[in-house]
Structure 1
Amino acid sequence: MSDAVKNLSKAERVEFILQRLQSLYPDPPIPLHHKDAYTLLVAVLLSAQCTDERVNTVTPALFELADNPFDMAKVPVENIQAIIRPCGLSPQKSKAISVLSNMLVNEHNGQVPQDWGALERLPGVGHKTASVVMSQAFGVPAFAVDTHIHRLAQRWGLTNGKNVVQTEKDLKRLFPQESWNALHLQIIYYGREFCSARGCDGTVCDICRTCYPNRKKPKIVLKP
């Protein structure tokens, strides 16, 4: 009779992950510095292909220049670009910030809309950015999935999706809706601390080893 420890079932993995992340990060803060929905929207837009840490070094100067759509709409695009250049993709991002600020002023009375369609129509705002704003600024249940969450979800056997769209659907199906907003942040923090791309290959961190004690080879992750 074998004494080998079995890999956890999917239901067991979901329950363990929920409990482990809640114990580690019971009240996860939003990593991007902001003061309201507008500054969060701009910060999330800037975080595309850029670390949160770098965004947080750039936004103080940007928000000192303009921290609301009325003022930002008046700032020349080249002035915005000069400040946000360290974030990368500065030509596209500076134009998007300028245009979306004008749209907020002209179409939404200077307010960030609490509406999926209206948010995703803003330049530079895709589904992931809209999900972050809806969940973290307005408390609407959403599960923003980026490439990092996509990678961890595969390592933990929660999805075999080839893209973030399928991974988001799978995670929403597996986890209770009331956990989504915090869980998005909890997975990000856990990934940075314990299950990074270089720090774990699916066989190193506590969650990976607990979910798959019999896994001997690195988990090959399908890139989105």
Structure 2
Amino acid sequence: MNENERIDNIIKEFDLLYNDAQCSLEYKDPLQLLISTQLAAQCTDARVNMVTETLFQKYKNVFDFAGADIEELEQDIRSTGFYRNKARNIINCCRMLIEKYDGRVPGNMDDLLKLPGVGRKTANLVLGDIFGIPGIVVDTHAKRLANRIGLTQNSDPEKIEYDLMDIIPREYWSKFCHQLVYHGRAVCVARKPQCGICTIKSYCDYYKTLK
């Protein structure tokens, strides 16, 4: 089996298992997704969703966040960790959105990366889920699984992103990364992957080392 066949088989299996895979962050508009993704750094999506349930009732738009008292916002998001940096970035990000983008979240990589607190992971998620522009989102699940399966030999998220771009068909980029998250939570967990029940084990480099 060549590499293209292996990738095709993994995609087919993921489509059977996780055809409806989507972002687990809860949001109603582009700004909410942008902020939720920033909060999700070094934090679980479940915790972020707990925080944003009340956060987005208190801060309803870009102007509310831009004008927020930083110490108050820090306390509002404290449980997500790194709350001082996150609060500062969210406020400065929203101010830049108002000053340079008419208060709207831009729909291209270059402009998104100019925003405080926004890296390629956040930008790709926003582009894929909001604007329908395919992108590879390398979060902790994607990083772990891509290395275990043998889709990359790199540990740097940006290098992993480009490695996956080379082997995954473009139309699958966004969906495939959501599927990696689902598989990472359900089967290929961090501490002890459940290889015995994994339906892609035949295509996985890690599983081969167990034989």
> Shared fold (TM-score greater than 0.5)?
yes
2:49 corresponds to which residue?
56
CA contact (8 A) 1:14 1:175 kept: yes
Counterpart amino acid of 1:50?
A: C
2-structure distance, mates of 1:40, 1:53: 14
Deviates more, 1:18-27 or 1:204-213: 204-213
Shift of 1:181: 1.2
Shift of 1:216: 3.9
1:209 corresponds to which residue?
201
CA contact (8 A) 1:195 1:205 kept: no
Q: Does 1:153 align with 2:122?
A: no
| Cα 1:33/1:125, change in 2 over 3 Å | same
2:112 corresponds, among 110, 119, 123, to 119
1:222 corresponds to which residue?
none
CA contact (8 A) 1:194 1:205 kept: yes
Structure possessing the higher relative contact order (Cα contacts under 8 Å, 6 or more residues apart): 1
1:181 corresponds, among 170, 174, 178, to 174
2-structure distance, mates of 1:205, 1:168: 27
CA RMSD of aligned residues (A): 1.8
Counterpart amino acid of 1:178?
A: E
Shift of 1:51: 0.2
1:12 corresponds to which residue?
5
1-structure distance, mates of 2:204, 2:27: 38
CA contact (8 A) 2:134 2:171 kept: yes
Q: Deviations over 1:157-204 (max 9, x none)?
A: 211123222211111111111111111101111111000112318x54
Partner SS, residue 137 of structure 1: helix
Shift of 1:207: 4.3
Instruction: Calculate percent identity across the aligned residue pairs.
Output: 36
Partner SS, residue 124 of structure 1: coil
1-structure distance, mates of 2:199, 2:158: 23
Q: How does the TM-score come out when normalised to structure 2?
A: 0.93
Counterpart amino acid of 1:39?
A: Q
Higher helix proportion: 2
Counterparts of 1:21-40 in structure 2 under 5 Å?
Answer: 21-40=14-33
Larger radius of gyration: 1
Shift of 1:212: 4.5
2-structure distance, mates of 1:147, 1:52: 12
Partner SS, residue 185 of structure 1: helix
Q: Could you list the runs of 5+ residues in structure 2 that have no partner in the other structure?
A: none
CA contact (8 A) 1:145 1:168 kept: yes
Q: How does the TM-score come out when normalised to structure 1?
A: 0.88
Counterpart amino acid of 1:106?
A: E
